[in-house]
Amino acid sequence: MDFITLGGNLLGTVPLGDIVLYVTPFNLFLFAVLLGFTLLIGLSKPETQIEATMHYLNNTEVKVGSKELKQRRFLSVICGLASAGAMITGDLFNFTLFMALIGILNIGIVSAVKQTSVLNSAFNYGLIAMMCSLPLFGGAAIILASTGTLSLAVLSQMSATPMVVFGAVLMLIGILGESGVAPFFASKAEMFRTAGSPYIVIIHLSSLFIIVRAVEILLLVLW
Amino acid sequence: MRIGVLWNKLADPKNIPRLFAFSLGIILIVGLIVPLALNPDQLYVRPDPQQQIDEGLPLAPYDRGGEPLKEAGDINPQYPENAAVLGMITGYMSPLAEWVSSISPYFGTSIYSSPGGLIDEILYYTRGFDTILESSILMMSFIIASWLSINYTMNRKNDSKEIKKDVARAVNDSAHLAREVKANDAKARSKQLRRDN
């Protein structure tokens, strides 16, 4: 499948050497939504939570400290920018690099929290993110070896060989693990159980958008 | 095993890396039987490994020809129109590299092969954006690691709430132990009493 069928008319390209970012209405929409959301995150204040205590009347307030806030806001803004970049990139290897950047930022956003259960699941997610670099980069390398190109514009014109299908499956499992789709959801879902909502939500949102974009890329490569 | 037990296991973060590693392993094993069909006409193409060695070139297998700033080397990018002067410094070698390649036929296999031009041209010219992203991944991990090492979030030593909880647990444990000892004592006593009578 090519760009026109999936995303509408090609509005333009941003040539950066061999990496050509391309803009269709579909990609532009995803890009603009993420940029707008990133702006909102940069400006907004984090939520606070009230923890109730069983059998007693003393409730505790869970707040985001100022040091923690700065670190988490910075990492969330970078995470938003990285996800926005992944929406318009036109290069397979570039996409996997954006993916790896989002993975490490997701760990960073929750690593500033002080709750043991959250840190524990962030550690488990970190293990998955580390393992994911093998299928992500390996899949891109296998697709490069079997087709001789990494550009999505060229890849969309080629027919899929068994090796390309294998590379795409590898990439898919890397994306599934990194964005925490079922059945690998538990460690990522547990990471959200803490205060500081807009920063936590960008973890969720970046995975959602990455999945949408990954489906488009896999259709371009395989169909 | 009932399916509900399985779902409950999936909801435990501890099991997820194992499950992921297992499924990745299965896919990699399946990959062993996928037929390999390499495309010989690739980006950033290289001649066959033995070809240049048989020709006796000192830079084998990395010789891509070209003369610095005069004649372009053979790199074969995806979009040549986006990199007009590509290949112009591919042939560049530092004086030290030139000297080593003049005395040794194994220069191309060493760590200082492609000393200036080729790697720089791919890393900073045709695929420069990838290099930016790679170094920003590294920078973000350093930022996270340094923040964590300064504000050690796993530190529970000075956390008064945590200390209170630990003390309560310890008191509870010792009370439990004392109760158990007392119960055992009473049991032994009654046994002894029965034996005596």
pLDDT in tens, A2-39: 777 887 888 888 998 889 998 999 999 999 999 999 99
Chain B: give the shortest CA distance to residue A13, in Å.
Answer: 12
Contacts of A100 in chain B (CB under 8 A): 137
Same domain, B181 and B144: no
Q: Can you give the pLDDT at residue B131?
A: 92
Close Cβ partners of B141 (under 8 Å, ≥ 6 residues apart): A104, A108
Same domain, B21 and B55: no
**Cα angle: B8, vertex B10, B12; to 5 degrees:** 80
- Would the pLDDT of A139 be above 90? yes
- Would the pLDDT of A59 be above 90? no
Q: How many CB atoms lie within 10 A of CB B33?
A: 8
Same domain, B56 and B134: yes
Task: Please tell me the total count of domains within chain B.
Answer: 3
Question: Average pLDDT of A105-113?
Answer: 89
- Would the pLDDT of A83 be above 80? yes
What backbone phi and psi angles, to 5 degrees, belong to A169?
A: -65, -40
Residue B192 inside a domain? The answer is: yes
Same domain, B44 and B109: yes
Question: Average pLDDT of A150-179?
Answer: 91
Is residue B115 a contact partner of residue A5, using CB atoms and an 8 Å limit? no
Same domain, B57 and B142: yes
- Chain A interface mutation, best of B18, B29, B79, B135, highest count of A Cβ atoms under 10 Å: B79
Contact state of B11 with A154 under an 8 Å Cβ cutoff: no
Contact state of B24 with A147 under an 8 Å Cβ cutoff: no
Same domain, B138 and B191: no
- Would the pLDDT of A45 be above 60? yes
What letter does residue A194 receive in the DSSP assignment? S
- Using CA atoms, how far apart are residues B114 and B120, in angstroms rounded to an integer? 9
Cα dihedral A189/A220/A14/B44 (nearest 10): 100
Domain region containing B12? 3-33
Residue-wise pLDDT tens digits, B150-179 = 888 777 777 777 778 888 888 989 999 999
Q: Can you give the pLDDT at residue A174?
A: 93
Contact state of B128 with A154 under an 8 Å Cβ cutoff: no
Residue A116's pLDDT band (cuts 50, 70, 90): confident
- Count of pairs with CB atoms under 8 A, one residue in A, one in B: 154
Tell me: ipTM over 0.95: no
- Using CA atoms, how far apart are residues B157 and B173, in angstroms rounded to an integer? 21
Which has the higher per-residue pLDDT, B107 or B110? B107
Most confident of A108-122, B60-74, B114-128, B134-148: B134-148
- Using CA atoms, how far apart are residues A13 and A214, in angstroms rounded to an integer? 19
Residue B58 inside a domain? The answer is: yes
What sign results for the dihedral spanned by CA atoms A154, A160, A163, A166? positive
What sign results for the dihedral spanned by CA atoms B122, B125, B130, B135? positive
- Would the pLDDT of A211 be above 90? yes
State which residue of chain B sits closest to A167, comparing Cα positions.
B31
Question: Average pLDDT of B186-190?
Answer: 93
Question: Average pLDDT of B81-105?
Answer: 84
| Average pLDDT of every residue of chain B | 84
Is residue B23 a contact partner of residue A173, using CB atoms and an 8 Å limit? yes
Residue B177 inside a domain? The answer is: yes
- Using CA atoms, how far apart are residues A221 and A186, in angstroms rounded to an integer? 30
- Using CA atoms, how far apart are residues A109 and A118, in angstroms rounded to an integer? 11
Contact state of A19 with B14 under an 8 Å Cβ cutoff: no
- Would the pLDDT of A221 be above 80? yes
- Using CA atoms, how far apart are residues A113 and A65, in angstroms rounded to an integer? 10
Same domain, B93 and B120: yes
Contact state of B128 with A16 under an 8 Å Cβ cutoff: yes
- Using CA atoms, how far apart are residues A197 and B103, in angstroms rounded to an integer? 64
What letter does residue A45 receive in the DSSP assignment? P
Close Cβ partners of A48 (under 8 Å, ≥ 6 residues apart): A61, A62, A63, A64, A195
Q: Can you give the pLDDT at residue B27?
A: 94
